[in-house]
Amino acid sequence: MAGYIFGFLLLLHSSSVSAQSGWHLLTPPFDEEFFVVASSLFLYKKGRDIDVPGRIKALEKIERLHKKLDEINFDIMNPSEKMKTIIKETIIKDAPLNKWEQLQAFDSAQQCERERFRVMARLIRQTEKAERPSRPSDEGISSFSIEEIKVWEALIRIQLSKCVPSAIYYKTN
């Protein structure tokens, strides 16, 4: 799933920037293993006691996620909001920059930001297709296709992305 955004962006265009100048578009890492555990739990109505592979390893994260979801009335959200919330909570927003993934390099900050917003707009159009108002709320999050989840993940990661100067990018790597 995490690789989807990279394939998507690599198709857009590539650019060559020297190591000493330029800007890099970075996205925060996605904890795919935790996403699988978290989404599996919520397929079963937030069952805290069910046995999901990897659950014990992610127990602390799952308890934090449960607490956060309880605070935001997760149970009354529509299925697409539930899925997006789970995706947002499994993105590692506070990871050090050297753990973030580089999507592209640019000659200027303006080019980087322009591309970031262009990709964001394209992904928003794609996610609108998944926001089907006709989807019954009792279908739950299990009714989403892998492709819908991948597009939401890509959109959320690009929304959280940063354009970083090469000097900072290479200093952290």
Give residue 114's pLDDT. Answer: 97
Query: Going by C-beta distance under 8 Å and a sequence separation of 6 or more, which residues neighbour residue 52?
Result: 37, 40, 41
Phi/psi region, residue 38 (left: phi>0; alpha: psi -120 to 50; beta: rest), is alpha
Give residue 81's pLDDT. Answer: 80
Tokens, residue 147: 């492709």
The tens-digit pLDDT sequence of the chain (173 residues) is 444 444 444 444 344 444 457 999 999 998 887 787 777 766 655 444 545 555 555 667 777 777 777 777 777 777 778 788 888 888 999 999 989 999 999 999 999 999 999 999 999 998 886 665 555 555 555 667 778 888 889 999 999 999 999 888 877 76
